[in-house]
Each structure stands twice: as structure tokens, then as C-alpha cells.
Amino acid sequence: IALLHEREAALAEEKARLQAGKLKGDLARKERMLHERLISQETCEDARHQWTQADLECRQARLQLENMAILSPITGTVTARNLRVGELATLNHKAFSVVDLTALECVGFIPEKQIGTLRADQKAQILPDALPGRVYAAAILRISPVIDTASGTVKVTLRVANPDAALLPGMFVKVNILLDTRLDAVLLPKKAVLYQDGVSGVFIVRDEDAEGNGRARWTPLQTGYTTPEQVEVAGGVAPDDRVVLV
């Protein structure tokens, strides 16, 4: 994503490479002389040590040259650039911010009483405020091992799939975590539920005649789980009852 001024590092790498090559040739010549017993073993070992040192310096210079290129550790999108062309780059200077928009994380705070129902890889849904009607699949990535005593909540981090890259870092979202599943549940629209003296109930059509006309009678309702639009019937209404919606 960026290339630092590399002329000095390139010259240092070339100098170290030439020196290492020269000493490698000297070592090969002295090994032949040792084989012919023209020099001592100590002289050959000194040449080998000099070449080893030069080779290390050459590799170090090559590494410094490679470090002139600033590489992103991930494949993503550059969201911030803190360096400009010609600016002096110092050690530990933050150069760029790179974000992988296809796999985001979401942080939420769950009431302490729900901690026993949470587990890693638990399924969830992400509903962004800025994208009405859009639902994104998510799963619990990790759960904090401590409780925030000030708020009585536990921090939960979720992994969010973002295949269309429509979710952006910093968005406010609603999180729905799936705690339980009930099959063959009887559901009613929430708008059909009314309250009398704090008791929930619905109007059910009774005493129907042959033409389907009947009388609406209020019946107490026992509710179970709820969603933003629906409520589960736990008792009071049968699946074949006719319920007044409006």
C-alpha cells in the first residue's frame, strides 16, 4: 500500500551482496589451497567466518530493503491514510487503517441473567438501523469472562457475515440472539392482542352460522415467546380459531 524511499537501502543491499560474493570466492580459493596443503586450517576457518558474517549482513540488508514496502497484513479496504508523499515516516507511526468489510465483528452487552443461555458459535441476527429490512447472519465469537458491575451486563462479541459489504464499521445495529427453538408453534400477529385489566387476550369469533357470521368474544390469552411482529400462543386459543385482527 506504500513504498518508502528505498535508494539508500538498495545501495546498502548491493554493497553487502558484492562483499559477500567476494568473500565467498576467497573462501572457495582457500579451501582448494587447504586441500593442496598450501595454507593452514586456521587460515581457511578465518575465511569461512568472514564469509558467514558477510552473508548475514547481506541478508539483513536485503530484509531492510524489503521492509521499504509497507504491506497490508489482510486483504481489505483502506479506510484511513495518515502518511502523505514526501512526509517523514518515523518508528511506530500509524500509516494506514485497513478493514476487511466482508467479515465484521459486533460488540453487544447482554443482561447478566441471560449469561447461562449464551455459548460460543450461537446463532444471531444483525439488524442495522441504517438499512431497514436487511438481516445479516451472525454468531457469537467470544463471551467476556467477567460481568460489568456498573451495568450488570456481559460483553459479547459476534462474528458478522457481510457478503455485500453494505454493513460499514461504526454502524448502530440491533442484535437478536437465538436462545431457543420451538417447533409447530401457534403464532398470532401482535396487533390482535388486547389488554384488559393487565390481562392479555384476543377476540375470537364464536357461534358462527351457516354463512360464517358469528359473535366476537374476548378470551384470555397465555403467551410464550414474542418477536417484533408476532406472539406465540401458549394457551387460550386453538390453531383453528378465528381471531379478530382489526
Q: Name beta bridge partners: 233.
A: 223
The Cβ-side half-sphere exposure at 95, using a 13 Å CA radius, reads 18
Average pLDDT in the 17-45 region?
85
Kindly tell me if the per-residue pLDDT of 5 is higher than 80. no
Angle between helices 41-66 and 7-35 (to 10 degrees): 160
Say which DSSP state 89 is in. Answer: P
Q: For residues 84-95, give the mean pLDDT.
A: 79
pLDDT of residue 204: 92
d(CA 2, CA 5): 10
Interatomic CA distance for residues 24 and 44, integer angstroms: 12
Q: DSSP class of residue 148?
A: B
Position 153 scores a pLDDT of 93
Residue 126: the pLDDT is: 92
pTM over the 0.85 mark: no
Give the confidence band of 81 by pLDDT, cuts at 50, 70, 90: confident
Q: Output 18 or 83, whichever has higher pLDDT.
A: 18
Indicate the DSSP class of residue 207: S
**Averaged pLDDT, 168-191:** 89
pLDDT over threshold 80, residue 6? no
Cell numbers for 54: 558477510
Going by pLDDT thresholds of 50, 70 and 90, the confidence category of residue 88 is confident
Cell of 94: 500509524
> Tell me, what's the pLDDT at 106?
92
Q: What is the mean pLDDT of residues 218-240?
A: 90
Whether 91 has a pLDDT exceeding 80, the answer reads no
How many Å apart are CA 87 and CA 231, to the nearest integer? 61
Whether residue 47 is predicted with pLDDT greater than 90 in this model: the reply is: no
Contact (Cβ atoms closer than 8 angstroms) between residue 218 and residue 194: yes
Q: Residue 239 to residues 165, 192, 207: CA-CA distances in angstroms?
A: 42, 15, 17
Position 29 scores a pLDDT of 85
| Residue 191 amino acid letter | K
CA–CA distance, 162 with 138 (Å, rounded to integer): 9
Residue 173, pLDDT score: 93
| Region 98-122 average pLDDT | 87
Task: Determine the pLDDT at residue 133.
Answer: 86
